Amino acid sequence: MLTVTEVEKIILDLVKPLQEKEVVTLHQVTHRILGENITSGLDFPYWDNSAMDGYAVKYKDVSMASKKNPVSLKIVEEIPAGYCPQKKIQEGETARIFTGGMLPDGADTIIIQENTQRQGENVLIFSSTILQDFVRQKGSFYQAGDVLLSAGMKINPPEIAILATAQCLNIPVVRSPIIAILSTGDELITPDKPLQKGQIIDSNQYLLASFIQQNGGIPLPLGIIPDDETALENAISQALEKADWVISTGGVSVGEYDYVDKVLTKLGGDIRVKKVAMKPGKPLTVATFGDKLYFGIPGNPVSTMVTCWRLLKSAMEKLSGNINYSPCSIVRGITHNHLRSDGNRETYLWGNVNLIGGYYHFTIAQGSHSSGNLVNLKGVNALGIIPIGTNLIEIGDDVQILLV
DSSP states along 196-250: PTT-EE--HHHHHHHHHHHTT-EEEEEEEE-S-HHHHHHHHHHHHHH-SEEEEES
Q: Which residue, of 116, 136, 156, is where some domain finishes?
A: 136
Q: Is residue 324 part of a domain?
A: no
User: By CB neighbour count within 10 A (0-12 exposed, 13-18 middle, 19+ buried), where does 130 fall?
Assistant: exposed
Tell me, what's the pLDDT at 253? 63
Tell me, what's the pLDDT at 327? 82
Q: Which residue, of 290, 319, 348, is where some domain finishes?
A: 319
Assess whether 352 and 304 both reside in one domain. Answer: no
The CA–CA distances, whole Å, from 88 to 57, 91, 109, 191, 198 equal 11, 10, 14, 74, 86
Q: Is residue 268 part of a domain?
A: yes
Counted domains in the chain: 4
CATH code for position 153: 3.90.105.10
| Local structure of residue 37 (DSSP, 8 states) | -
Tell me, what's the pLDDT at 257? 52
Assess whether 162 and 26 both reside in one domain. Answer: yes
What sign results for the dihedral spanned by CA atoms 109, 112, 113, 118? negative
Our CA angle for 101, 102, 106, nearest 5°, is 125
Short-list 293, 275, 294, CA closest to 284: 275
The CA–CA distances, whole Å, from 338 to 21, 347, 359, 365, 399 equal 49, 13, 18, 12, 11
Q: Is residue 194 part of a domain?
A: yes
Cα dihedral 202/205/206/207 (nearest 10): 100
Q: Is residue 87 part of a domain?
A: yes
Assess whether 295 and 211 both reside in one domain. Answer: yes
- Residue 12 near residue 66, CB atoms below 8 Å: no
pTM score of the predicted model? 0.89
User: How many CB atoms are closer than 10 A to CB 56?
Assistant: 29
Tell me, what's the pLDDT at 256? 55
Tell me, what's the pLDDT at 328? 87
- With H, G, I as helix, E, B as strand and everything else as coil, classify residue 7: helix
Tell me, what's the pLDDT at 250? 87
Assess whether 347 and 383 both reside in one domain. Answer: yes
Assess whether 278 and 263 both reside in one domain. Answer: yes
The span from the CA of 78 to the CA of 92, in Å, is: 16
- Give the structural domain span for 37: 22-43+142-174
Length of the chain: 404
Residues in the chain predicted with pLDDT less than 50, given as ranges, are none
